Structure 1
Amino acid sequence: MKPDRFGAIVLTLWLACAPAAGAAAEAPADRKALDAIFDEVFARYRLPGLALGVVEDGRVVYSRTAGELVEGEGAKIDSRTLFKVASNTKSMTTATLARLVDAGKLRWDDPVTKWIPDFRMHDAWVGQQMQVRDLLIHNSGLRAGAGDLMLWPEPNAFTRADIIHGLGYLKPYRSFRSGYDYDNLMYIVAGEVAAAAGGAPYEALVRREVFEPLGMSRCQVGQWNRVEVGNVAQPHRREGDRNVPVRSDGDIVPTTTMDPAGGVRCSLDDMLRWTANWLKPQPRNVAWLSQEQRQALWAPQMPMPVSKRMREWDRSHFSAYGYGWRLADVDGVFKVAHTGTLMGMYSAVTMLPDKGAGFVILINGEGDEARTVLTQVLVKRYTAGDPALSVAHYASLIDREDAARPATEKAPDTTRRRRATAKELAPSLGVYRDPWFGEATLCRDGDNVRFRARKSPLLDGVVQRVGDRWLIDWDDPSVDAEAWLDVDASGMRLAKVDPQADFSYDYEDLAFERVGGCP
């Protein structure tokens, strides 16, 4: 597929850029204003840690960090601290693939089955027709987040082979290539395609093709030793007025199934080098990726909805997904960006190529609103230049949106609950099986009833009675999306209690059938 006219505009921007010194020494900037923005966001949202960097014309003009690796333990975050960049990994995966395309080892329009013969989808025709490019642009027809319970919560026992096999059982939400629905599993498949074409495991490829040539020396993926590497931020969740560590790393950080979709960790310094490479690469990096492939990565591939917020806040007219990047216009200025979200970790990379500017945000706590507000204020400094578009301004807009949200979009009150008894659920107890998720048990636990997923040990909780419904209260507080439980003669089904919960808790895609009695 040839890049369209918009991609050609991006190429023109690249050709106009002279070689730059890269993301090294900090240059003068309006530090006082940026410090005020940083301080207000850090304090307003009570973050455990925050790292922010700004690149202009290929140079780092602002870099600042605050907070601790683990709140209360004293070790300070700095520009070399490793954070989970989560879905900002996706652009590194697509860059790896683009390098293989440059090398003649792969084509964007190769059938996926050329590299993974066992690959199939629920509709056999879709599996045969799916190309490498389709793996990257969220057009599979699956529901947003479909099958993500094979990735999260971690740790779990699902492998990449399980994911490739499981895709054949996930029923489509819409027809292939007809619309945008965010998908993580296809990036796992893309990582396996890269491994097959590149002759090395995904983790080795991304180190070889991205980290090493771009000098991203602190970035980690695959198995590594946290103690030896050192200076690693840990995720946190809010508990009252405190930030509490959650899912903390052991001494050895293992390779995970989800690495190609969201498994990379990098420092602020690394991510600023990454950002500068796209805006104005150093001379030694100009040849790292051809202009043709740089253009392809930033060419609109799949239309995305323009939300009410985008129209009202940014006067946006278009939104699209490229290869691992979101593309949009803000006040008439082209924006290339992506975010990353994992339990207790938030990241954002935002670039305004027309302005030669880019920003990196890394947070090791519950930072959804903080990331949104900080990104918005930074972008508007370049596109609008209006000091009224401040942290307080955007924070108040979000508060108003939350207040106006209809009751149907809010979590119901489930505080009046009690533990279900084994007697109440006696006819439904047993072993159940879903074709892609595997076995789960609904069995007696003393006088109570417990749900356990065999391959996902954190999905373990006691069944509660709430009015006339059943609810699963997960034991691990890091599993932050409770599930409604419906069970009858046709099988067992789950659904999110909070309709706004992360779509990766894709309970709605499960279809358990009873296969036996409790052990």
Structure 2
Amino acid sequence: MTAAAPGGTSGGFSGHSSIGTRTRPAAWLGSKLHGFVVSSAASSWAEFTLRWSSTGSMVTTQLSRSSGGTPGTTTVPAGTSVNPFAGARRGSGFAGRAANRLSSRKLFCDAATFAWCRAFAMNGSSTAATKTTSSTAPMMVTRRAIALPRAPVPTLTGVRPARPIGAVRFHTSTPMHWLLTAAALPLLLAPVRAADPTPEAVDALAGDALKAFQAPGAAVVVLRGDQTLVLKGYGRRALGRDEPVTADTVFPLASCTKQFTTALLAALVDDGKLGWDDLVSKHLPGFKLSDPHATALLTVRDLVTHRTGLGNHDLLWYRAPWSIDHMLKQVPRLPLDYPFRSGYRYNSLTFMAAGRVAEACGKKTWPVLVRERLAEPLGMKNVAFTTAEIPKDADRAHGHRLNKAGKVEAAPVYEMREPNPSGSLHATARDLAAWLEFQLSDGVAPSGTRLVSSKPLVETRAPQNLMRLEGAAKALFPDTVQVSYAMGWVVSDYRGLKVVAHGGLIDGFRVQLTLVPERQFGFAVLCNMHDSRLPIALTNALIDRYCDLKSKDWNAYYARLAEEEAEAKSAALAARDRARDPSAKPALPLASYAGTYSHPAYGPATVTHAGGALTAKFSSFSLPLEHFERDTFRITGAFFESDLVRFGVSDGKATSLTLAGIEFKRK
């Protein structure tokens, strides 16, 4: 015997054909069922309101008895096998706003069935669960609520109401399985989840995280289905200033922008204008890889799953003075780091190309499409696509970092002047509450309007490319067995739960957006501290609390991990410096290293000599150099501090320089 979950998806409880396990499908979690159990003579009733908690067990919020009165009814003969969920629709949640607009129905069954169901609830017999009632009395469904005399409500020890996503409603024309009533009674006996964290407890978690990671401020969002449980700011927008972080403080989302680009692509797939496995050459013929065979096979899916063969190449875009179109024209000049579709390497350039694909299919620019198709329908009022769009008097967070002494200081502002489909989006916690709800409802806006069909949007959160869980990655996910990249999301397991998440890192900030689909939770943590572990530590702590997992001191764990990483880096630098031969002089006079060097994709790097010192200039960076040993120089300030620049010398001339792993040849 199977039942269809809200939304019309057929299948048994949690994918099992037997309901004797008493598990519930993820789509039902948090949903509410209101009904009556009545005697065959319709002279007494037991009214109940049922809700599936986020643990999958059911709890009751109301149980009352009344007698007398006759409802206006439509009868369904005893023994009829029926299903209440076929045809039920979901709104902004899993039985939410759209369902609320359907006609309200009340569910009835006879006293004999009530007794049978109670017996099932007590012994958990899966055999009993698969049969229908043989009572001669009818089951009744009514179109209207029934005014019942006031009656005492029994005390249900240990039962706590779960917050509903929305009330389940029924079509009278849809038959109903008796298993619905069989499922109703275990609520009185099954264990229920602990209470949600109190607001004070969440405040304490956030406050402890700010202290542990020396972060000036953070914003936190917690959703269950279409209910916002937490929407709050903590700390300060900027060090040394009094302005607090609020739910309306603007933060950069950095790489969390990628999921907006893939959601836009999903909308275009929904329109029939695009297919995930369309060749990129069909929509963006000018985009090519260095391998012509890979270019010929390259699909839209490849662009957004980090499997093209390209390495990171972050310096082609990070603080670069050139346009995105210029960047994409350089991609054919980048050799592939691994064979096409045979590995994983994070790359933002391909998401920029995906944004251009969206523009080609949508006939508008990427920011216009995201605003019209997603941000505006979701009510995301403070979204900005560049830093220039943010008003000067806006409630805006300022970035911070730790200096050499371990003290918090302001981070250099990263001005993003061109909309970037890979990382330029800015938004507030309030905006992200709507975004998380849209994701949890598989494409429905808080207004109840469907923006994207479920199938293409869910595909963006489906595992696509395996990520090796080793080294630093394993330390970052200590309670995880498997990690895969989806499309703008990372899919993993966390302490037995499926988690879909993505982080964002840009100068002075770190953010984390997380979904726990089977529990219908969404989390967002935004922090104004550079490369801080605060977002992942606080997110893990919140998941533990809301999902009834054993608590763990994630602040201590990630703070220690950060310390170990810093110690390892310091030790490596110290070992490098100890191995240095300061007496090894450069092969050439300093002025001989001056000149212009070039890379096919990255362009020119120039070295100037003035005042007895060298300075290298590349992209928007000016890098002062001091001699380290032989023909190697150390960067002494600003970006890339302590990194080494190596010159190649041949026949008494400087022929190349290598910076950040990129070799530039002397012109």
**TM > 0.5 between the two?**
yes
Counterpart Cα distance in 1 of 2:271 and 2:280: 18
Whether the aligned pair in 2 keeps the contact of 1:333 and 1:383 (CA below 8 Å) is: no
Shift of 1:223: 6.6
8 Å contact from structure 1 (residues 20, 59) kept in 2: no
Say if 2:483 is the partner of 1:331.
Answer: no
TM-score if structure 1 supplies the norm length? 0.83
Indicate conservation of the 8 Å contact 2:288/2:331, yes or no.
Answer: yes
Deviation at 1:282, TM superposition (A): 4.8
2:482 alignment partner, one of 304, 311, 318: 318
Matched, 1:19 2:185: no
Per the alignment, do residues 471 and 52 of structure 1 end up closer, same or farther by CA in structure 2, a change over 3 Å counting? farther
Find 1:466's aligned residue among 612, 617, 628: 628
Verify the 8 A CA contact 1:237 1:244 in the aligned structure 2.
yes
| One-letter amino acid of the structure 1 residue matched with residue 96 of structure 2 | P
Mapped to 2, the partners of 1:403 and 1:246 lie a distance apart of: 18
Instruction: Report the aligned-residue RMSD.
Output: 3.2
Q: Please tell me whether the aligned partners of residues 428 and 487 of structure 1 are also in contact (alpha carbons under 8 angstroms).
A: no
Of 182, 198, 209, the match for 2:373: 209
Q: Is the 8 A contact 1:442 1:449 kept in 2?
A: yes
1:199-348 to 2 correspondences below 5 Å = 199-222=363-386, 224-227=388-391, 230-239=394-403, 240=405, 242-248=407-413, 255-256=417-418, 259-280=420-441, 281-282=444-445, 284-285=447-448, 287-307=450-470, 310=474, 315-348=479-512
* AA partner of residue 174 (structure 1): Y
Does the 8 A contact of 1:139 with 1:179 survive in 2?
yes
Higher mean displacement: 188-197 or 375-384: 375-384
* Paired position in structure 2 for 1:381: 545
The 8 Å contact of residues 234 and 244 in structure 2, kept in 1 or not, is answered as: yes
Structure 2 residue aligned with 1:73: 241
Q: Relative contact order (alpha carbons < 8 A, sep ≥ 6): 1 or 2 greater?
A: 1
| Distance (whole Å) between structure 1 residues aligned to residue 361 and residue 555 of structure 2 | 49
From 275, 286, 291, give the equivalent of 1:118. Answer: 286
Equivalent residue number for residue 109 of structure 1:
277
Q: Output the CA distance in 1 between the equivalents of 2:570 and 2:640.
A: 23
Q: Distance in 2 between matches of 1:59 and 1:13?
A: 16
Say if 1:122 and 1:169, in contact at 8 Å, map to a contact too: yes
Structure 1 residues 305 and 254 mapped into 2: Cα distance closer, same or farther (>3 Å)?
Answer: closer
Larger Rg: 2
- Write the letter of the residue equivalent to 2:433: L
**Over residues 189-248 of structure 1, what are the superposed CA-to-partner deviations in whole Å (9 max), with x where a residue is unaligned?**
111111111111111111112111111111111474433661111222223464332333
The alignment of Structure 1 onto Structure 2 pairs a total of residues equal to: 476
Query: Higher helix fraction: Structure 1 or Structure 2?
Result: 1
* 2:537 paired with 1:369: no
| Contact 1:451/1:472 (8 A) holds in 2 | no
Aligned to 2:223: 55
Contact 2:489 2:501 in 1 (8 A): yes
**Cα shift readout 1:67-108 (whole Å, capped 9, x = no counterpart):** 333322332221101000100000000001111111111111
Structure 2 length-normalised TM = 0.65
Q: Which residue type is aligned with residue 293 of structure 1?
A: P
2:663 alignment partner AA:
A
Q: What is the CA-CA distance between 1:468 and the residue it aligns to?
A: 4.0
Shift of the alpha carbon at 1:366?
2.2
Q: Aligned letter for 2:469?
A: V
Preserved contact between residue 197 and residue 546 of structure 2 (Cα < 8 Å): no
Counterpart CA distance in 1 for 2:570 and 2:422 is 33
Identity among equivalent pairs (%):
25
Unaligned stretches of 5+ residues in structure 1: 1-7, 22-26, 496-506
Distance across 2 between alignment mates of 1:134 and 1:294:
17
Q: 2:307 is aligned with what amino acid?
A: N
State the distance in 2 between where 1:65 and 1:243 align: 20
CA distance in 1, matches of 2:639, 2:430: 29
Are residues 442 and 310 of structure 1, via their aligned partners in 2, closer, same or farther at CA, if it must alter by over 3 Å? closer
Structure 1 pair 312/348, CA: closer, same or farther in 2 (3 Å)? closer
**One-letter amino acid of the counterpart of residue 296, structure 2:** Q
Deviations 1:115-159 (A, max 9, x none): 22221111111112111111000001122x22x21211x2x3221
| Structure 1 pair 293–179 and aligned structure 2 pair: CA distance change class (3 A) | same
Aligned to 1:5: none
CA pair 452-319 structure 1, distance change in 2 beyond 3 A: same
SS in 1 for 2:421: helix
Q: CA deviation at 1:480?
A: 5.5
* 2:649 aligned with 1:488: yes
Amino acid at match of 1:246: A
- Whole-Å separation in 1 of the counterparts to 2:446 and 2:535: 32
2 CA distance for matches of 1:122 and 1:137? 18
Q: 1:514 to 1:319 in 2, by over 3 A?
A: same
